[in-house]
Amino acid sequence: MKQFTLFTFLYLALGVCLTAIALEDPNLPSGLQTSLFASAGASYFVCLFSTFPFWREATIRSYRRRNSALILPWLVIGVNIVGMIWEVQSQNRTMEAILGAFSRLIFVLLFTEIIVMTWQVNSEH
């Protein structure tokens, strides 16, 4: 049975936003446009997989094997956010820098979902 969560819709919304941005501005550099399309495709892919039960089960199984692995998602989120801020600031807040940082939000969303799933497992026990 497929299950839809808040994260399913967040992945879908992120993919739609990234696709719309990439298609709307024809003056974007081709590398940035490719990055936006790749992130949008990954977001659609994860959106599809997040509806199946094996997605949650694999995450929970991985967490139970390595109980201390909860720090890894926090580190990935922190490094991504600091990297995005650094990228935008170092390029004087140009639109290309902001869009490049925006295309990395898929990683923040993925690891946030992992944290939420592990919190749910901990609250059940």
Closest among 38, 51, 35, 47 to 1, alpha carbons compared? 51
Q: What share of the chain is helix, strand, coil (3-state, %, to 5)?
A: 85, 0, 15
pLDDT in tens, 105-123: 998 998 888 888 888 777 7
What integer is the mean pLDDT of 18-27?
87
pLDDT in tens, 47-62: 998 888 888 888 777 7
Banded pLDDT at 11 (limits 50, 70, 90): very high
